[in-house]
Structure 1
C-alpha cells in the first residue's frame, strides 16, 4: 500500500511540473458582427477596430476581419480632390457579395465620388459605415457631363442595409443654389426660365428594411435624403442642415414608401423639414426638431390631376422653430384620392408662420385655374399644439376645396400666442368640418359641424 501511495504522489508531481512548464497561451475568440435586429435597431454605429495594413495578397481585406472592406484598400485616396468613385464601386461589389459585410470609409479622409448607383440585391446585413467625409463634385461646372444631374448617391434594390457612421456627407450645394433659374437668383431678384435640375443628395429606390442613423448630412444641392418605392425604413439620430434660403433643400422626402420611423433628429434647411408625398402610409415621426424650414408637410398632392393616397401619419413630440409653416397638408386642385388618418400631437412652435394649415389651393403662381375635383382630406387631428406664431399670417388656416370639403378635423389644447405684436384672432376656415374639443387660443369658431358627405360620396375617394 505504501508503494501505491508513493507512485501516486510521484504521478501528481510530474503532472504539475508538465502543466507549469508548458508555454501555451489561451486564445480569445471574437465573434463576427451579427445581423441587426430590426425590431430593436442599434442607434449608434458599432465601434469597429482600427483597420490593419492591407495584406498585399488580398487587397480587398482591410483588417483581420474578412467582413470589413475599407475603401482605401481598393485605391481610395481621400484627399478631397481625387476621384475615388472606382474604389467605392469596387468596395461595394466586394461587400455586397458577403453576408454581414461592412463597407468602411474611415475617418480622417475626405472622399469625392461622382454620381453613383449602388445596386443590389446584396447579401443581408450590409453596413455602409461612413466615418470620414463623403462629397460630390463642387458644383455644376465640375459635374461630369455624362452623369445625371438629378441625383448623386443612389441605393437601388437593397434589402436589409444600414447606412451609419460618425462622418459627414457634404453636398457642396452652394453653386447649385446660385443658378439664375433658382428662386430669386436672377437679375434684380427674378427667376430666369429654362431647365434647372439639381441633384438630390441621397436616394433610396425600390429598397426595404433600411436603417439610416448617426450621420451628418449638409448643404445638399436639392433634397437631402429621398425614399422612393421603399418599405420598412428606420431613420434616427441624423443631423441635416442647409441655410434657410437654400432653395428646394427638403430634409427628408418620402414618396410611395410605407412603414417608416423618423426619430430623434435635427433638421434645418430651406424647404420642408420632412415632406410626405403620394403613396405613403404608416409613417411615425417623433422627437424631431425642425427649423429654420418650411415645417412638416404632407404634400403637395394631386398635381396635374393625379391620384394621391396618404394614410396613417403620426407626428409627435416635435419642436418647430423660425419656420414658414408648422404642420401642413397641401394639395393641388384637380387631384383625386384621399389623405386620411393624420395625427399631429404634442408639438411646440417657436416663431412659426402658418402653424396649422390645410391648403387645397396649393399653386406655384397666381395663374392656377379653379377645378372641381380635389384630394379628399379627412380624419385629421391637432392635439396639444402650443407656442408662438409670426403675426404676418393667421396661426390656423383651413382652406378646403369648394366641392370636396375637409371633414372630421379635431382640435384639442391648441394654444398659440404671437411671438411679437398683437394677436391675430381671426383664424381662416373654408368648407372645413370638424370638432373643437377644448377652447383654443386664439379662438376658432369657423369649423362647421356635421358630416357633409354621405358614405357613398366618401367612397369614391377611396384609394
Structure 2
C-alpha cells in the first residue's frame, strides 16, 4: 500500500515539474469572457494550440464563471499538457441541449494534468427530475461531467465536480491515472450521480479525496485492475462498490482492488461487491478492504450476488460471476441496520478464499445487537468479530 501511495505522490510531483516552464494559453486570449456567453469555441481553440505546442503547455481558465457547452478535448499532443481551472465552468442546465453523454471529454492523452481550485458545475437539478432509468431500460443516458477516455499517465488534483447530471467522472480505457485531493459534491437525492466510475482501466489511484453524492462514491466496472482507493471520505452516497458485474457479454475480469484508510458516513452501503443474478460469466478476485471507519452506514460490509434494482433482472437464477480472494479487515464503527455484515454469494459459483478479520460494528435498535449473515461462502475468520462472523447461515 505504501508503495502505491508513493507512486501517486511521485506522479503529482512529476506533473508539477513538467509544467513549471510551460507555455500558457489563457482562454481569454481566444475571446472567452465571463459574461454568460458560451466559451466552448475559445476553449477548443486554446486547447488545439496548446496540444500542438513544441513545449509543455497549460490551458488556463481564470477566476470567474464561464458558460460552457459540451466539448471534446483530445490528443495526442506533442508534449505534456495541463488544464488549469481557477474559476467555474457551468454546463447548460437543460439536458436536452446535449447531443452526447459527456459534458467535458478528455481523450487520447498521454501525460496530462487537470489542476486548480476551480469547479465544474454540471447544473444537474433539472436532469435529476427527468432521470427515469430506474424504471425505463430504454432511457436516454444523461451527460457525465468529466469523461476520461484512453488517457495515460495523468494526475487530477484539487478541482471540484459539482451537481453532475449523471456520473461525475468516468475513467474508461485509461492507464496510470491518479486523483488526489479531488472533490465531488451532489445532494443525497441526486440520481445516478456516481462520484468516480472506473472501467477497463489499470493503475488507477484515488487518494485523499472527498465524495458526497447520490450514488456510489467510487464504482468499479469490469476490467478494473490495480485500483487503489486510499484516504477517501465518502458520504452521503452508496459507498465504495465493485460492480455491478455480470450484466453484459464478454466482461473483463476485475482484479487488484485495494481500499484502505477510508471513512464512510451516512451512506446506504459501506464496502460492497455486487453482481447481477442470471448473469453472464465473470471473474472478480484479489479485492481487499482494510482500515475502514463506518459512521451510521446502512450496510457496512456487503457481498450481494443477487443485486437486482427495480426488478430489472431474473432474480431466481444464480449469478455466474466467480468472486475469490477477498478480505475485509479492521472495519469498525456503527451500522444503521441490524445485519452489519452480509456475505450473500452465488449458489452456482460460491465465493472462495474470503477472509474477515477484526470487525467491530455496533448497532443500536429495537431488533437487538448487530448480527451477520452468510450464504454460499466459508470465510477464514480471525481477530475481533463483533458481530460474530456468519451468525446466521442462509441456504
Q: TM-score, normalization: structure 1?
A: 0.78
The secondary structure found in structure 2 opposite 1:39 is helix
In 1, Cα distance between equivalents of 2:280 and 2:340: 26
2:60 aligned partner: 104
1:45–1:165 CA contact under 8 A, matched in 2: no
2:245 aligned partner: 301
Displacement of 1:206 = 1.2
Listed one character per residue, the Cα deviations across residues 343-380 of structure 1 (whole Å, up to 9, x for unaligned) are 10100000001100001111123363233551100111
In 1, Cα distance between equivalents of 2:254 and 2:370: 31
Listed one character per residue, the Cα deviations across residues 239-281 of structure 1 (whole Å, up to 9, x for unaligned) are 1110000000000000001001110110000000000110011
1:379 lines up with 2:325 in the alignment: yes
Stretch deviating more after TM superposition (206-215 or 358-367): 358-367
Give the alignment's Cα RMSD to 1 decimal.
Answer: 2.3
Structure 1 residues 240-251: aligned runs within 5 Å: 240-251=184-195
1:173 lines up with 2:148 in the alignment: no
In 2, Cα distance between equivalents of 1:420 and 1:438: 25
Which of these residues, 371, 377, 385, is aligned with residue 432 of structure 1? 377
1:308–1:375 CA contact under 8 A, matched in 2: no
1:416 aligned partner: 361
Gap change, CA 1:292 and 1:126, over 3 Å in 2? same
1:125 aligned partner: 80
Displacement of 1:399 = 1.0
In 2, Cα distance between equivalents of 1:172 and 1:362: 30
In 1, Cα distance between equivalents of 2:40 and 2:23: 21
In 1, Cα distance between equivalents of 2:324 and 2:355: 10
1:54 aligned partner: none
In 2, Cα distance between equivalents of 1:156 and 1:367: 32
In 2, Cα distance between equivalents of 1:269 and 1:126: 30
In 1, Cα distance between equivalents of 2:295 and 2:366: 14
In 2, Cα distance between equivalents of 1:328 and 1:253: 14
Unaligned runs of 5+ in 2: 1-7
Unaligned runs of 5+ in 1: 1-36, 50-64, 184-190, 449-463
In 2, Cα distance between equivalents of 1:349 and 1:425: 14
2:372–2:392 CA contact under 8 A, matched in 1: no
Displacement of 1:111 = 1.4
Gap change, CA 1:193 and 1:251, over 3 Å in 2? closer
Which structure shows the bigger proportion of residues in strand conformation? 2
Structure 1 residues 256-267: aligned runs within 5 Å: 256-267=200-211
Which of these residues, 236, 253, 258, is aligned with residue 197 of structure 2? 253
In 2, Cα distance between equivalents of 1:414 and 1:219: 35
Structure 1 residues 246-325: aligned runs within 5 Å: 246-325=190-269
1:68 lines up with 2:24 in the alignment: yes
Q: TM-score, normalization: structure 2?
A: 0.91
The secondary structure found in structure 1 opposite 2:92 is coil
Aligned length: 382
Structure 1 residues 107-256: aligned runs within 5 Å: 107=63, 109-141=64-96, 143=97, 147-148=99-100, 150-179=101-130, 181=132, 195-256=139-200
Which of these residues, 75, 94, 109, is aligned with residue 49 of structure 2? 94
Displacement of 1:422 = 5.0
